[in-house]
Structure 1
Amino acid sequence: MATTTLWLLRATLLLHAALALAQPVSAGSYLSGNFDILATHGSNGILLVVATAVWGVAALGRIAANRGAGWPLLLLVPVVFMAEGMQIGMGHQRNLAVHIPLGVFIVLTAVLLAVWSFTSWAHPQRRVRRVTPGEER
């Protein structure tokens, strides 16, 4: 079960990161003159919010299995969820002064979380415990 919940969490975080990375690509395409891509950019933004909810559920599953450090994710779910919701609103209002920096935050967070999911911090049972001299094992 522990391996299953870890891989489910990794898959959902990778999906979220892929969706997040697609956003600046579609924005760049729009700025290059492909005006039809703006609809795709908006739809992908909504999928990004859904993906955040999904990795939030995966984090809950990881914690419920009592097999991992899911609490940092639970702290980040509302932050990222609210940031993405605000991002959609700022995009609709064409408020690029907020939309672009917030997008950078979302992409950076998504990539860092996906990378984190493959570290020993996401799977504490695999961390090596250092024993100091004179300490019992």
Structure 2
Amino acid sequence: MSEGSAEDDHLAQRLVDAADAASLPLFAGWRAQPCPADDPVGAAMQRVHVQREHRGACHLAAVRVYGLTAQAAMVVNLGVEQAAHHGWREPQPVAAALIPRRRRAEQLPGELQAPLYTAPTARQRTEFARLVDALTTSPTP
């Protein structure tokens, strides 16, 4: 990892540390896991994963806020076949009235996460995006 990416990794850790874990137990559990001290790339990947878990936990909360079950949200998004593929037993089509609820639920995670990304400077956000891109496009050893 280069010096710049080490700085970006510290930004990732600050974002993870600053996130509110209230009502987000899956995120809180992942955040509590120690990062590998001897693997900087692995530690960076873990921090990015924990940030993803924060977004996922916010999404699950939003789904519930808008009166959807996880299964109904998946059926609206991916369809009955994909819901079954992901392990839901005998998923059924959902009422058309639930579609606008899911659309609203898709907006809320971004609103919940926005405060995390206001503290870093524009340069830091750009460099962080570069780090994530580099981590996710690098060939695996």
- Alignment TM-score > 0.5, same fold: no
Structure showing the higher helix proportion among its residues = 1
Instruction: State TM-score, norm by structure 2.
Output: 0.28
Instruction: State TM-score, norm by structure 1.
Output: 0.29
